Amino acid sequence: MFEIIESLRRKPDSTKKRIAFLTSFFLSGTILIVWFTVIFPNFKKNLSEDKVVSKNEVSPISTLGDNFSLGISKFSKEFNELKKLVSSFTANAIYSSSPTDKNFSSSTENRVIINDQ
């Protein structure tokens, strides 16, 4: 090993730089290959799981639209029920005088007579 280092020391600077570059390139490539072999199977598995999950998830915009349309439909339903309730009050209202109130009935009769003349 020391002989190889001594032979490199005797070479010109351009050769030393070329050898240093190639050695670092080779070591970095080896580390990258080992890293990919360890990470890639898990990455591929996670990627396929993410695709399955994304197909089953509902987008936030569609959820917002569904909630908005549901709220509008409930509001219109309640409004229609309120209209029915108000109309039932006016339709079922009975205007009558009480039998004990003589002034009321006589005043109505007087008005009728006055209107007939």
pTM of the model: 0.35
Mean pLDDT of 27-36: 93
Q: What's the token pair of residue 43?
A: 């990455």
- For residue 30, tell me if it sits in a domain: yes
- For residue 65, tell me if it sits in a domain: no
- For residue 39, tell me if it sits in a domain: yes
The number of helix segments (H) and strand segments (E) in the chain equals 4, 0
Q: How many domains does the chain have?
A: 1
Q: Which residue has the tokens 């509902």?
A: 58
Q: What's the token pair of residue 69?
A: 């349309």
37-69: per-residue pLDDT in tens? 887 777 667 777 777 666 666 777 888 888 889
- For residue 88, tell me if it sits in a domain: no
6-20: per-residue pLDDT in tens? 888 899 999 999 999
Note whether 19 and 8 are within 8 A (CB): yes
- For residue 92, tell me if it sits in a domain: no
Give exposure, 57-82, as e/b (b: 16+ Cβ within 10 Å): eeeeeeeeeeeeeeeeeeeeeeeeee
Give the domain range for residue 31. Answer: 16-57
Q: What is the mean pLDDT of the chain?
A: 77
Mean pLDDT of 87-107: 59
Q: Is the pLDDT of residue 92 over 80?
A: no
